[in-house]
Amino acid sequence: MWLDVLLDILKYLLIFIAGGVVGFFVARKLMTKYLKKNPPINEEMIRTLMSGMGRTPTQKQVNQMMKQMQKYM
């Protein structure tokens, strides 16, 4: 009787942990897909940022910044 209760508790605990692991990977996949589709920063934002710092960015500089941002996504 006690063994059955212990096995049931263990079974539910393992199911709970497995659900958490699967949920983590599904959420991670969905977030990476969302961030690729809707990047948090775009070329216009980089131009505005550099202009705010007193620089007039060239297209080459903007492209370099975009490549650096893509490296971390």
For 56, residues 6+ apart whose C-beta sits below 8 A from its C-beta are 50
Taking the CA atoms of the chain, what radius of gyration do you get in angstroms? Answer: 24
Regions of the chain where pLDDT drops below 50: none
Position 11 scores a pLDDT of 97
User: Per-domain residue ranges for the chain?
Assistant: 1-38, 40-73
Q: What angle do CA 47, 37, 25 make, to 5 degrees?
A: 125
